[in-house]
Amino acid sequence: MLDYEKTRNFQFADVRHAYTSRDSILYALGIGLGADPLDRNELPFVYEKNQLAVPSMASVLASPGFWMRENKALGIDALKLVHGEQSVTLHRTLPAAGTVIGRTRVMRIVDKGEGKGAVIHTEKKLFDEATEQLLATVEQVVFCRGDGGFSKISGGGDEPAPPFEATPERAPDLVIDMTTRPDAALLYRLSGDLNPLHADPAVAEKAGFPKPILHGLATYGIACRALLAHFCGYDARRLRSMRARMSSPVYPGETIRLECWRADGAVAFRARVPERDLLVLTHGRADVAAAA
């Protein structure tokens, strides 16, 4: 069972991550940029000349890794972890290559009750090593399905975070369909998440899936790609922040349909897989700066 005090006060070592132009290109290809090699708008993300980085790549840089699985003393049931929510706030333009320092902390642990799971919120601040400037703040929520009721055993527990605002009830202002590649998970995993659930059919079947699933952060990145294209004119500097709740997995090869609503410098969004009429991202919001 989750140990509140040990987990809440877990000390993360700083993570130094040197990444190259090639890494940024791999990330961009992994979320579907460059599918049309003649698209001059997308070429800067997948070609080293005047290269740009996708803002959502901040989510995979200087990651603390599988710390909940590797530190058994925390008592977390690692087999029942689910990535619940993700947000990225950009303080400066993310370089296409460089060295960054990631500093992570646990912000909140919420006990939803016995049989209902627990929720862990973490925050990662990403600094440029050379200038020591803060580049991005990345927040992640993990749902620990097997750890509800920990407060009765180990004590402690924090108040729930304010909920994300739901998307509007009216029809969306814009609908964007994006087809994913059948090998999308095999390509995206080269950006750091080598969990065999996304590559090995036998592992996927053991976990209850008919085949390997796409990474939740890949779905998140694909949504970022659509926002860049349709609301930022491919200007990565204009995407200031982005958040979403991950509600269901996508299978590589499926269509991701992004439904968007404009609202005073922001975009509310959600994503569904039309082949199964299933929502895969909900409560999405992106803050977009006006064009210069």
Which residues are marked as active site?
193, 198, 213, 216
**191 within 8 A of 23, measured Cβ to Cβ:** yes
Query: Between 216-231 and 21-30, two packed helices, what is the crossing angle to 10 degrees?
Result: 90
Burial 143-164 (b: 16+ CB within 10 A, else e): bbebbbbbbeebeebbeeeeeb
**139 within 8 A of 123, measured Cβ to Cβ:** yes
**61 within 8 A of 18, measured Cβ to Cβ:** no
DSSP state of 189: G
Burial 49-78 (b: 16+ CB within 10 A, else e): eebbbbbbbbbbbbbbeebbeeeeebbbbe
> Residue 139, Cβ neighbours under 10 Å: how many?
17
Helix, strand, coil proportions of the chain in percent (round to 5)?
Answer: 25, 30, 45
H helical segments located in the chain: 4-8, 21-30, 43-46, 67-70, 150-153, 184-188, 201-206, 216-231
